[in-house]
């Protein structure tokens, strides 16, 4: 069993910055993929950024050049640095992990945090 806890959300003025963190705890051998998603009312949850353990990254077109995802594998923690924030970035942000629980197991389990609110004002 794995628990994900997000932090770092809040209210920020347009053009400002926030740094989100996600910390995972529990039975973890390796987190294969760490990610961030966001959701606004009436819309499906969308991928913002993802990073596999190997280090490559993937970003939504809307955040490329403004957001950066990074990770600390030793701490099972990952981050989303958000710069040049826009009102359109307002959403609940969720961290996501695809977890390999044991070295001897091929299982990959997916976990979600409960979300942190990011509000960008004009």
Q: Tell me the per-residue pLDDT of 33-78, one tens digit each, with 9 for 90 and over.
A: 999 999 998 899 999 999 998 878 999 999 999 999 999 989 999 9
Per-residue pLDDT at 59:
98
Instruction: Quickly count: other Cβ atoms within 10 Å of residue 105's Cβ.
Output: 11
What is the spatial distance between Cα 121 and Cα 21, in angstroms, rounded to a whole number? 21
């Amino acid at each position: 069993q794995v628990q994900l806890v997000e932090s770092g959300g809040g209210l920020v003025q347009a053009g400002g910055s926030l740094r989100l963190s996600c910390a995972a705890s529990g039975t973890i051998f390796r987190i294969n993929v760490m990610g961030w998603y966001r959701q606004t009312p009436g819309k499906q949850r969308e991928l913002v950024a993802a990073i596999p353990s190997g280090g490559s990254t993937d970003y939504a077109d809307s955040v490329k050049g403004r957001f950066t995802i990074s990770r600390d594998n030793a701490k099972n923690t990952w981050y989303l640095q958000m710069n040049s924030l826009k009102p359109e970035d307002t959403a609940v942000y969720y961290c996501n992990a695809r977890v390999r629980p044991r070295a001897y197991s091929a299982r990959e389990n997916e976990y979600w945090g409960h979300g942190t609110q990011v509000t960008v004002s004009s």
